[in-house]
Chain A
Amino acid sequence: MGLHMPRGTLVVCLLIVGALALLPLLESRYLIDLATEIMVYALFALSLNVIIGFSGNVSFGHAAYFAIGGYVNAILLTTYGWPLWLSFPAAVVLSALAAAFVAYFCTRLTDIYFAMLTLAFSMLVWAIAFKWRSVTGGDDGFVGVAVPAFIDSRVPFFYFTLVIVTGSIALLWTICHSAFGQALVAVRENLTRAGFIGVNTRMMRGLAFVVAGTFAGVAGAIFAMYNRGVYTESAFWTESAQVLIMTLLGGMYSFFGPAIGAAVLYILERFANEYTQYWPTVLGVILLVIVLVLPEGLVGLARRLGARLVRRSGA
């Protein structure tokens, strides 16, 4: 590993960013909306993978930090009239603080207990959003977010999202491939042994949780402005499950896997909703396939197929 991205990966990344930057030339509202939404979900899924793929814990409550980022940004912009350059960082910092608070409790436990606790805490966030009607709008949602004028139309907002998401993903990549990221992998592979060689495992797992929560907050803060609203459902545990499925569908043992999973699942959802009202069933079936056949996700499948191809051409 180390801090240099392999040249092939770097070229593919630059090509994708370049293609996205040219997308508005097609002048398709549909494509720009789709690309904006996928970018947000890709960042959301990648952030979750810091907990799952790198520290080896499963969070069933990641939507909480997405929702906190969204609510805080929306409320500061709209209710308090803060400028974006203050409200956005404030939203991200609050998501990080909330993640740190939850991590303090959750990292006392491991495995199933950890998963259940993350879920319970996310439902606490949901309950607060639901009950604190005067501030969050309760179950009607917080609507009419005051989006700053310079990004108040489709194409500028798309570029804004592209810049923030690309920057965030680059940062996440750097964090995950730093010494910190490698220590996390050690924790994932063997908690006890990582502890023996002097890694403060609880602290590492907690930090991974905070990093994940921070970037989920970034994604949520963007999404609140994109939708011009935040709704309680965004904190509900089924939303956490959805982003978890994105992460696993793409593949948790690869850095970019979750982004691929997010894109595939999001496009599938769009299609499915046009033909059927039973998206949950489709999602359930996808999940069964992941669990029973594809535990390493699409990236794992591609790697397996690739390896087979190489063997065959070699023989």
Chain B
Amino acid sequence: MDMLLSNPTFVLIQVLNSISLGMNLFIIAAGLSLIFGVLRVINFAHGAFYMFGAYIMFTVAQEAELGFVTGVVAAAAGLAAIAVIVERGLFRWLYDKEHLMQLLLTFAIVLLMGDIAKILWGTDQLSVSYPDALRGATDLGVTFYPSYRLMLAVIGPLIFLGLWLLIERTRWGRLTRAATQDMEMLSALGINVPMIYIVIFVIGSALAGVGGALAAPINSPTPGMDATIIVECFVIVIIGGLGSLWGSFVGALIYGFVFNFGSVIVPNWQDVFAFLLLMAVLLVRPWGLYGKPEREGH
């Protein structure tokens, strides 16, 4: 606490820590929110997808020594493949069913993927080393800061920009936004709506994979990491507003700051602060900072 008041460099480091944590979480939460925005399904298995991303990173970059970038690409591709299987094999039967059934289906996937991960990667905590180029610290003039975390702080906004351009500035993005409004009309106009669903699900899931791969050197892959991350993502998207890209971005940043500064001010209780913030937001804006009220009948 005293450090916060007396040491500006310390504050700067905490700010950077908050941003880099927030941006890592944003990549994952954005996928969850994107999928909800279009498919109207909350994917509990998103956390398991993240975990698989981290494990794939371990196998590709650590065991096979194919390099860090290959690891990230492999995680994205692996999760895209899993997403296609899950969407075609299971999800598509449930679009017209109750939300409860959809939630339960995604929870069944959580259970199955948890066991598959145990079979493939065991139950030990695995470690993934930092890529050579980002192993050290970067000189910021006033202080040194770990290069890897700096990279996370930069890559998050880039992904945000990419997603924003895709959804707001391309024809395909317009169709996607139209699908969230009235998919029957879109379908009647000759647009292949199921294709939009698959692509969105693949992009969202690949984001979970990338988020997991990028988190792997910091949070060693281990069973149970899926359950922790999904709760963090829930808190972020509820604060930001489900289905809103801006919401995930701002929600993740807020979460990063509350978590980091919370742990400095009252060590060990940072999780609880995040929930207090969540309650405060809900009191003022039940649909989150950037969320819209659900229409009746949805």
Contacts of B227 in A (CB 8 A): 236-238
A284 touches which of B36, B42, B111, B296 (Cβ 8 Å): B111
Contacts of B36 in A (CB 8 A): 112
A116 to B43, CA, bound (A): 11
**Is A295 interfacial (CB-CB < 8 Å)?**
yes
**Is B278 interfacial (CB-CB < 8 Å)?**
yes
Stretch of B17-25, B68-76, B99-107, B168-176 with 4 or more beta carbons under 8 angstroms from chain A: B99-107
Q: Given A58-B103, A237-B227, do A119 and B272 touch, yes or no (CB 8 Å)?
A: no
**Is B282 interfacial (CB-CB < 8 Å)?**
yes
Docked-complex contact A295 and B108, CB < 8 angstroms: no
Contacts of A113 in B (CB 8 A): 238, 242, 286-287, 294
The minimal Cβ–Cβ distance linking A275 to chain B, given in whole angstroms, is 14
The minimal Cβ–Cβ distance linking B31 to chain A, given in whole angstroms, is 16
A281 to B114, CA, bound (A): 8
Closest to B278 in A: A120
Docked-complex contact A290 and B104, CB < 8 angstroms: yes
**Is A271 interfacial (CB-CB < 8 Å)?**
no
A115 to B234, CA, bound (A): 10
Closest to A109 in B: B286
Docked-complex contact B103 and A117, CB < 8 angstroms: no
A123 to B235, CA, bound (A): 10
**Is B10 interfacial (CB-CB < 8 Å)?**
no
**How many of B's residues come within 8 Å of A, CB to CB?**
41
Docked-complex contact B272 and A124, CB < 8 angstroms: yes
Interface residues of B in 133-150 (CB under 8 A from A): none
A278 to B223, CA, bound (A): 14
A44 to B227, CA, bound (A): 22
Docked-complex contact A116 and B282, CB < 8 angstroms: no
Docked-complex contact A111 and B238, CB < 8 angstroms: no
A288 touches which of B108, B272, B278, B298 (Cβ 8 Å): B108
Report A44-78 CB contacts with B as 1/0, cut-off 8 Å: 00000000100000101000000000000000000
Contacts of A109 in B (CB 8 A): 282, 286-287
Contacts of B93 in A (CB 8 A): 292
**Is A267 interfacial (CB-CB < 8 Å)?**
no
Report A282-293 CB contacts with B as 1/0, cut-off 8 Å: 011101101110
Docked-complex contact B231 and A120, CB < 8 angstroms: yes
Closest to B288 in A: A113
Docked-complex contact B271 and A131, CB < 8 angstroms: yes
The minimal Cβ–Cβ distance linking B40 to chain A, given in whole angstroms, is 8
Pull 16 A–B residue pairs with CB atoms less than 8 Å apart, ordered by A. Answer: A109-B287, A111-B99, A111-B298, A112-B36, A113-B294, A116-B238, A119-B234, A120-B234, A124-B275, A127-B272, A131-B269, A238-B227, A248-B104, A280-B112, A287-B111, A288-B90
CB-CB nearest 7 A-B residue pairs: A284-B111, A287-B108, A127-B271, A280-B111, A284-B112, A124-B275, A284-B108
Beyond A105-B282, A119-B231, A244-B104, 10 additional contacts (C-beta under 8 Å) are A58-B99, A115-B42, A124-B272, A238-B227, A278-B115, A284-B109, A284-B115, A287-B105, A291-B104, A295-B101
